[in-house]
């Protein structure tokens, strides 16, 4: 373990010595932002280190992603192809009309059918701003994920991500990492994630545009970021960075925060009826519980899912 740590530190040092001046992408990620996260790379996988709160957040993000995907599965085929074994989903709240035993049986049947179809799916994922690979690895271990492509502009973070992924044989061939900007990514994906990265760019609308172009039809874009308000400044900067020290100082800048309503308005303006907002939830960190969802997405942190029609 000690030899591996020393080897990793040597690689990170060589990255810094040999790096040509980083070019900022058209999506507006500055060299200051990249340098900040490069300085955190060596402790990225320390669950009690600089990214401790991100490790805890990852659990909530995974729950959200899996719930959205599971709820998006079409249980029945087209009416002409339907069989007598298909699950019947009434167009009303059946739990309010059926006896408890019947409604429970219907719910169980729906869950089992969705789970069965989910296991047969093989989805390709693009993780934008993957950092050291916390989310990418977690997604790569899901049985219905075929491959995860993680991209980031911080070479040291990508080095750490690659090194850590090699320690898990189950991830071989399922996860790959690249020092690359979003606009230079080729191909299409079933899922694109932009988690905790929009608040670190100067042009979030460019990120939305490029991320949307990378989605297959009926693909899902997942976003998690922070509203631009006093509550956000107080919780994420004043308290988290300056008082409690659970987030490294200089990580966040209020001027870069993005309101959830602005993202929704961007889709309304640019995509019209070609998208569906699947869910939008506020999120908050409670020390004794971790990250939890709530129904006030216009304050503080939030997470959302948008499907391409």
Using one digit for the tens of pLDDT, what is the confidence trace for 81-92?
Answer: 445 555 555 555
Q: Are 305 and 267 in contact (CB under 8 A)?
A: no
SS3 track for the chain: CHHHHHHHHHHHHHHHHHCCCCCCCCCCCCHHHHHHHHCCHHHCCCCCCCCHHHHHHHHHHHHHHHHHHHHCCCCCCCHHHCCCCCCCCCCCCHHHCCCHHHHHHHHHHHHHHHHHHHHHCCEEEEEECCCCCHHHHHHHCCCCEEEEEEEECCHHHHHHHHHHHCCCHHHCCCEEEEECCHHHCCCCEEEEEEECCHHHCCCHHHHHHHHHHCEEEEEEEEEEEECCCHHHHHHHHHHHHHHCCCCCCCCCCHHHCCCHHHHHHHHHHHHCCCEEEEEEEEEEEECCCEEEEECCCCCCEEEEEEEEC
Task: Consult the annotation and say whether 147 binds a ligand.
Answer: no
pLDDT at 3: 55
- pTM equals 0.83
Task: Consult the annotation and say whether 85 binds a ligand.
Answer: no
The pLDDT tens digits of the residues spanning 150-177 come to: 999 999 999 999 999 999 999 999 999 9
Query: Looking at the predicted structure, is the pLDDT value of residue 142 above 90?
Result: yes
pLDDT at 177: 98
Task: Consult the annotation and say whether 249 binds a ligand.
Answer: no
Task: Consult the annotation and say whether 199 binds a ligand.
Answer: yes
Q: Which residues pair with 225 in a beta bridge?
A: 302
Task: Consult the annotation and say whether 200 binds a ligand.
Answer: yes
Task: Consult the annotation and say whether 156 binds a ligand.
Answer: no
CA triple 142-146-149, angle to 5 deg: 95
The pLDDT tens digits of the residues spanning 242-286 come to: 999 999 999 999 999 999 999 999 999 999 889 999 999 999 999
Least confident of 27-31, 187-191, 229-233, 235-239: 27-31
Task: Consult the annotation and say whether 282 binds a ligand.
Answer: no
Q: How far apart are CA 177 and CA 161, in angstroms?
A: 7
Query: Looking at the predicted structure, is the pLDDT value of residue 193 above 70?
Result: yes
Ordered by where they begin, the domains of the chain are 2-73+121-308 (3.40.50.150)
Q: Which residues pair with 305 in a beta bridge?
A: 222, 279
């Amino acid at each position: 373990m000690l030899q591996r740590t020393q080897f990793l530190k040597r690689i990170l040092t060589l990255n810094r010595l040999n790096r040509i001046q980083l070019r900022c992408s058209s999506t507006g990620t500055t060299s200051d932002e990249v340098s900040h996260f490069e300085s955190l790379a060596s402790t990225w996988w320390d669950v009690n280190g600089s990214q401790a709160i991100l490790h805890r957040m990852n659990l909530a993000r995974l729950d959200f992603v899996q719930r959205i995907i599971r709820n998006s599965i079409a249980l029945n085929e087209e009416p002409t192809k339907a069989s007598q074994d298909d699950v019947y989903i009434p167009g009303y709240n059946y739990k309010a009309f059926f006896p408890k035993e019947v409604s429970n049986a219907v719910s169980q049947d729906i869950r089992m059918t969705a789970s069965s179809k989910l296991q047969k799916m093989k989805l390709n994922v693009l993780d934008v701003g993957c950092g050291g690979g916390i989310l990418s690895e977690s997604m790569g271990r899901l049985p219905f994920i075929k491959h995860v492509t993680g991209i980031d502009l911080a070479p040291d973070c990508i080095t750490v991500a690659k090194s850590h992924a090699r320690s898990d044989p189950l991830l071989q061939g399922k996860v790959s990492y690249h020092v690359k900007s979003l606009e230079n990514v080729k191909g299409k994906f079933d899922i694109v994630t932009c988690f905790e990265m929009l608040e670190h760019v100067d042009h979030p609308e460019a990120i939305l545009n490029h991320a949307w172009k990378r989605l297959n039809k009926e693909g899902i874009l997942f976003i998690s970021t922070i509203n631009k308000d006093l509550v956000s400044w107080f919780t994420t900067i004043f308290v988290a960075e300056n008082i409690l020290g659970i987030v490294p100082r200089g990580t966040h800048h209020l001027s870069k925060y993005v309101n959830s309503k602005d993202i929704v308005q961007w889709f309304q303006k640019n995509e019209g009826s070609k998208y569906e907002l699947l869910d939008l939830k506020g999120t908050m960190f409670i020390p004794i519980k971790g990250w939890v969802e709530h129904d006030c997405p216009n304050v503080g942190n939030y997470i959302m899912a948008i499907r391409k029609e």
